[in-house]
Structure 1
């Protein structure tokens, strides 16, 4: 059985993992893209959007690793899209177009059922209405010996941290202050939950910190 990991999860210096007021126009919340300025120039990201070139080095290494070795993903409802409440129709299929970057079974936490959506490139979205334990059980079964990635957002990561399910947490501390948004660390005693810093590497655009339990 593989591990359960968070990887490439960007937070501001003041601890926000997303900006406020997520919407169709601002999927990461207001100023949310500033958290990912370390990733956009990398060769890994450029290849993801179908372009050549890009920077190499530490940021690219961590960016590449943030999507490698996973056999299943778990996302919160907000990570899947801006729709709230009951699904009005089957039109919305995620932020990523016809070929999402997951290429594996991806489990969406929601209170509102919806049939699975099979996308191009091997991604199938499954909508889980009976909680984080059920989603993790299904993801582990799908992943086999590969890892399961808790892909966010903030609320989803916090729930799995508090439940003691995350084995490794790679945070990217971006040198920005958001002032408001979704706070990742509020009320969390990470040492008390068993986490310690096992790696810390800084670049011009970010500090990569790995916490291991």
Structure 2
């Protein structure tokens, strides 16, 4: 998880996730991941879980879902399948993606400026696999420790969520890099690019 200066941050090809939901977005699941790191510093996901189905007894609205995680933590849908090393995230159906920064890291989504805008989660180096890759994403929000939801990173926001659609069709592949920008104790800004490929043709 490298430290990053504001100068370098402004040089990265960062693309904002659109405010509006993707066209014809009909969510079928929520995919939750907790971002942490190995002792040597490499970012990874822990608390990997099977998706939460929509509708289900564990989901009413995305706002209620993420606020409950902020206040009470996320409970695994299937504790027996947890794995700790996944870095790729693929989806095969319309999904909400919820990313939580591990409490043990002591960091939050950044309030640093990139080209005059606040960034916490962004798309890097837009894929050329589709003429409009941004159209598969939308409604990026941030959640603080009390469960309050914001349009931009606010103090104490360690949860973020957004909508994502896969590209349909047999044999279609699509890769898009996601970056996380975080504030660490002492005001150090870092960004993580754990080589996430998504949306994709995963079975989840």
TM-score, normalising length from structure 2? Answer: 0.28
Q: More strand by proportion, 1 or 2?
A: 2
TM-score, normalising length from structure 1? Answer: 0.27
